Amino acid sequence: MATGLRRAMRELALGRAEKARPLLERAALLAPSEPGVRSYLALALARSGGDLHAAAGHARYAVEQRPADPAFLFNLAEVYAAAGLGARSFARVLGVARPSDRAGAGYPGL
């Protein structure tokens, strides 16, 4: 798995999320409780036009497991931004969004 994960990270860094995605999906099947795999799978899904609900679930899991990891917070924010939450995505990730914010109304559960 380590070789595939390294390759997936390289593909993401080179802007090739569509190539990283199947590698990360396989890694997530092999290690479903690994927050790093789940966080970067979320990022690959968001960047490659994948299922944003699944991406949000993976990203939230990673943040719940390691809330102090800034990379996981940024990945979750990018997933929210891909879902159309725009500038409010960072506030939402950090839990400071106002209850009146309608961000994500078109994406229930995000």
Whichever domain contains 49, its CATH number is 1.25.40.10
54 has a pLDDT exceeding 50: yes
Please enumerate, as own/partner, the contacts of 55-61 that have beta carbons within 8 Å and a separation of 24 or more: 55/79, 55/82, 56/80, 56/83, 56/107, 56/109, 56/110, 58/28, 61/35
Residue 5 pLDDT class (50, 70, 90 cuts)? confident
Which pTM does this prediction carry?
Answer: 0.79
pLDDT at 110 over 90: no
- DSSP 8-state symbol, 83: I
d(Cα 108, Cα 110) in Å, to the nearest integer?
Answer: 6
Within a domain: 40: yes
Q: Which domain holds residue 76?
A: 2-94
The token duo for 22 is 């199947």
- What does the mean pLDDT of the chain come to? 84
Is pLDDT at 107 greater than 70 in this prediction?
no
Residue 58 inside a domain? The answer is yes
Q: Does 108 reside within a domain? A: no
Residue 8's pLDDT is: 95
Query: Do the domain assignments include residue 107?
Result: no
Whether 48 is covered by a domain: the verdict is yes
Q: Is residue 89 part of a domain?
A: yes
101 inside domain = no
Instruction: Count structural domains, the chain.
Output: 1
Q: Is residue 99 part of a domain?
A: no
pLDDT in tens, 28-53: 999 999 999 999 999 999 999 999 99
